[in-house]
Structure 1
Amino acid sequence: MMYREHAQDVLGQWLAWRRAGEVALVVVTATQGGAVRMPGALMAVSATGQRCGYISGGCIDADVAMHAMEALRTGRVERLRYGNGSPFIDMPLPCGGAIEVGVLPNAEADVLRACRDRLVSRQPVTLTLSPSGDLRLGHSTMANALSFRYTPKLHLRIAGRGADSLALARLAMASGIPTELQLREGTEAQEARRLGIDNVTQLTLPSALPARDDDPWTAFLLAFHDADWEDALLTQALGGPAFYIGAVGSRTTHARRCARLGAAGAVERQIERIRGPVGLVPSMREASTLAVSVLAEVVEAYQRKVRCPFASTALVLLAAGQSRRFEEGDKLLARLHGQRIIQRAAAALQGHDLAARIAVVGPDQAARAVELRAAGWTVVVNAQSEKGLSASLAAGIREAGQCRGVEAALVMLADMPNVPDAHLVDLRDALTPERSAVMSLAGAVHSPPALFDRAVFDSLTGLAGDAGAGQLFQSLAHTATVAIPADWALDVDTREDLMKVDCVN
């Protein structure tokens, strides 16, 4: 029995067992009330009953494994429910909730291998389970299909010297966190390897740092007490996508290092990314307790990034467009599968916490405003909507800039009803700290939705005409694009467009 929990590890073991024989994949498909694991949690079960991964706190795993072995014998997909509403009345859940699982005896090896490979290559991936039990990569709009998103493992990079670095690396490794240790002293590197820490790099000169290999799922912790090394290592980290950058030291020490970085030309907004003093528990004086405090802060930041990716993002919905080409009334009030187009747009990211939801309408579009307010949006009336898309964009961005805690704005068009939340999450992932903007790419054309860092808000409010933000995007440095399928990029201007959208859904 292996209590691995990350999808990369469970799928890796599933593939290893599959080379020797049959193996089932168990997927948590839904939970109700309290639950140890979230939907999407995985467990592999071999034909001999070996298990890798877990789906509960131990309440049901053994029983599910027996069902999985039976499914391997019959070849039939099983769907099981435990807890409230379950036929297994002799197995109540202590938490009082319910867990539903799918048992897949013939999961597609190629799909699971591709999923595992994406995670190994440090890329998020979505796995979709059809009602019949088939798996595929990517998001699906199929009715009753379930999509589960998996993110790469937290990776910790520590640069420093002394007991603080070694204690943190040892604790992180013991917690299953891949850790890279960069040390100044050769004797400390030897000690690290003796402690079982294999990924060790020896630092030589501040002017000759190893190439940075951070990604959006990397946390960087500086544990030096030397200004030359601090400045060089922090400058390098700030130029990359690490989601967490922290530095050991007192408030006074941290203020001094920030002042040095500012004097050397670092932008204040970037300097603010550096956490200091580090740790959830302040003023730890021993390396062991400091390690616990720092690792807790890193894990908390990672979980917040994974579970609340839009916590500092304002969603700006541009809904002030005219319906001049749309026959028979207002295009955004037209119905698509029993729901108004504007209602579909207003449902974007409904399951996510956002810093603000802002919708922009024109002065003569009261019916749109009513729908949006009913859905919980802050409605901004753009009295200059006739001046084009840029005027509405500016109105929405100005409102976003006044909202507390907003660090980015995600701009959507209300007449694009097919954009799924999965694409918006991909945009959010792509806006790493060193980037200023991310746009969708429809074929070779830059397109909404688009995500902008707060640093370019002033530039967005200065645009004019109907060009939107595309021209500004092309003038910016440090940007990225995310491909959007043609079906998702459809917009509605005419009745014919509405029919095309209807055919896709």
Structure 2
Amino acid sequence: MIINQFDNQEDVWPRLLRWARRGYRTALVSLIHIEGSSPRALGAQMAVTDSGEFVGYLSGGCVEKSVALEAVECLQQRHNRSSRYGKDSPYVDIELPCGCGLDIYYDQSLSLALIEQVMQLKQQRVPFWHVTDLPSGQSRIVEMQPGQPASTQRRGDEFWRAHLPAPQMIVIGAGPAVAAIGHIAAAMELETQSYTNNQTTLREVASVGISANHHFATAARLDLSGIDPWSAVVLCFHDHDIEADILHRLLGTPAFYIGAMGSPRAHQLRLQYLQEQGVAEAQIARVKGPIGLIRGAKSRLPLALGIVAEVVAEARTLGLIV
């Protein structure tokens, strides 16, 4: 029986690890070639158990059940394989409305040790490639070096699937917008953390299910060590004095997005403060404001939605997500 566990997870590896540790035999299914225009990007993946349970998706919903059935057959035969769906496919009863051709690779040979290695690198937020030799099915992990193009691609008989750290949203501040931004960011599958100097805000954020919440007493005691090039930081303060000190520190981090809520006048004042502190113009230009794609939003949910949408759009422009 095929059971669809589709839950909007782009990353199937956590589920793959849980299944493997429970003793299930599993297959990793990858989209390794696209002919034409596809609703999913190269490297899209599914994970399937020998009972037919699966997570992930390779199309707009056209092929997943058939792919899961073929993955179960692959597991039963204990042999990796490739297949094609859509254009020039032998599966004439399965149509792809977009008219594309999808080449799919079924890997039933992944070891628990390799799955654990992948998950360790993900948890450590290390970018890497999972390289599969398609004829033999052998896998290896290659860590990316700074400056290397982080693209998923076919290289001869090898498929190099890029894994970048998931974009994380860090919300710093106080007030109802903090919980709203955290809630919507988590729904968008962004890793989300909040930092606040306000106990009421701390309780509000916890109430929407965001567990990575931190309280700080002063700007100097705010821990920014976890901010990396895949981090977006949003400031939500009415107290602009503490905001200015935090902004100054944030400009020393590699965050791909730094934004602060407030009016155009508030934004001009914060930029003026940074100039007076001798911050270089190029650095000051990193601070975005007023933020949010829904201009003039006055209530917390439209405001939060616009801010998260702006962060996601920036991440996509930079190639951090597809």
Q: 1:151 & 1:242 partners in 2: Cα distance?
A: 15
- Following TM superposition, where does structure 1 have runs of at least 4 consecutive aligned residues deviating by more than 3 angstroms? 4-7, 139-143
> Quick check: 137-146 or 99-108, which moved more?
137-146
Give the structure 2 partner of residue 64 of structure 1: 67
Does 2:13 correspond to 1:11? yes
Equivalent in 279, 289, 304 of residue 266 of structure 1: 279
Q: Counterpart of 2:295?
A: 282
Tell me if 1:45 matches 2:48: yes
Matched, 1:116 2:119: yes
Measured after TM superposition, the shift of residue 164 of structure 1 is: 1.5
8 A contact 2:170–2:194 mirrored in 1: yes
Distance 1:308 1:41 in 2: 12
Inter-partner Cα distance in structure 1 for 2:94 and 2:78: 25
Give the CA deviation at 1:197: 1.9
Q: Is residue 131–residue 139 contact of structure 2 (8 Å, CA) maintained in 1?
A: yes
Tell me, yes or no, if the aligned pair for 2:178 and 2:205 is still in contact at 8 Å.
no
Using the TM superposition, give the Cα deviation of residue 15 of structure 1 relative to its aligned residue in structure 2, in angstroms. Answer: 2.0
Q: Which amino acid aligns with 2:121?
A: R
> Relative to 1, partners in 2 of residues 1:142 and 1:100: Cα closer, same or farther, differing over 3 Å?
closer
Aligned residue for 1:224?
A: 237
Name the residue aligned to 2:308.
295
- Structure 1 residue 4 displacement after superposition: 4.5
Whether the 8 Å contact between 1:206 and 1:228 is mirrored in structure 2 is no
Matched AA of 2:311: V
Matched AA of 1:118: L
* Aligned mate of 2:94, from 91, 102, 127: 91
Alignment correspondent of 2:148? none
Evaluate the alpha carbon distance shift between residue 67 and residue 151 of structure 1 in structure 2; reply closer, same or farther with a 3 A threshold: same
Q: Secondary structure at the match of 1:256?
A: helix
Q: Distance in 2 between matches of 1:308 and 1:95?
A: 22
Gaps (5+ residues) in structure 1?
A: 310-505
The C-alpha deviation readout for 1:405-427, integer Å capped at 9, x for no partner, is xxxxxxxxxxxxxxxxxxxxxxx
Shift of the alpha carbon at 1:233? 1.2
Asked if residue 249 in structure 1 is aligned to residue 262 in structure 2, the reply is yes
CA distance in 1, matches of 2:294, 2:259: 14
Which amino acid in structure 2 is aligned with residue 89 of structure 1?
V
* Separation in structure 2 between the aligned mates of residue 234 and residue 55 of structure 1, nearest angstrom: 41
Residue from 227, 230, 233 that aligns with 1:214 = 227
* Cα deviation code 1:8-40 (max 9, x no counterpart): xx1222122123121111011011223222111
Matched, 1:104 2:117: no
What's the offset of the Cα at 1:169?
0.9
Name 2:150's counterpart in structure 1: none
User: Can you list the C-alpha shifts for 1:302-326, whole angstroms capped at 9, x where unaligned?
Assistant: 11222699xxxxxxxxxxxxxxxxx
Displacement of 1:195 in angstroms is 2.2
Q: Determine the C-alpha separation between the residues in 1 that align with 2:114 and 2:220.
A: 45
Deviations along 1:375-398, one digit per CA (max 9) or x if unpaired, are xxxxxxxxxxxxxxxxxxxxxxxx
2:201 counterpart residue number: 188
Shift of 1:78: 1.8
Gaps of 5+ in 2: 145-152
Q: Does 1:202 align with 2:204?
A: no
Percent sequence identity over aligned pairs:
30
SS of 2:172's partner is strand
Amino acid at match of 2:16: W
Distance 1:113 1:48, change over 3 A: same
Is the 1:155–1:218 Cα contact (8 Å) retained in structure 2? yes
Which of residues 162, 177, 180 is equivalent to 1:164? 177
Distance in 2 separating the partners of 1:287 and 1:169: 11
What number of residue pairs does the alignment pair up?
307
Q: For 1:306, what is the secondary structure of its paired residue?
A: coil
1:429 aligns with: none
Aligned with 2:219: secondary structure?
Answer: coil
CA distance in 1, matches of 2:111, 2:43: 16
Q: Which residue of 2 aligns with 1:135?
A: 139
> How far is 1:256 from its partner?
1.0
State whether structure 2 residue 129 is matched by structure 1 residue 150.
no
Structure 2 counterparts to residues 460-479 of structure 1, below 5 A: none
| Structure 1 contact 108–135 (Cα < 8 Å) conserved | no
- Distance change >3 Å, CA 141–CA 100, structure 1 → 2: closer
Aligned residue identity for 2:82 = R
Deviation at 1:228, TM superposition (A): 1.4
- How much has 1:262 moved relative to structure 2? 1.1
**Which has the larger displacement, 236-245 or 27-36?**
27-36
Q: Which amino acid aligns with 1:14?
A: L
Secondary structure of 1:285's aligned partner? coil
Contact 1:5 1:42 in 2 (8 A): no
- Alpha-carbon distance, 1:123 to partner: 1.2
> In structure 1, what is the Cα distance between the partners aligned to 2:128 and 2:79?
26
Counterpart-to-counterpart distance in 2, 1:192 and 1:167 = 8
- Cross-structure match for 1:76: 79
- Contact 1:212 / 1:237 at 8 angstroms: preserved in 2? no
TM-score (norm 1): 0.58
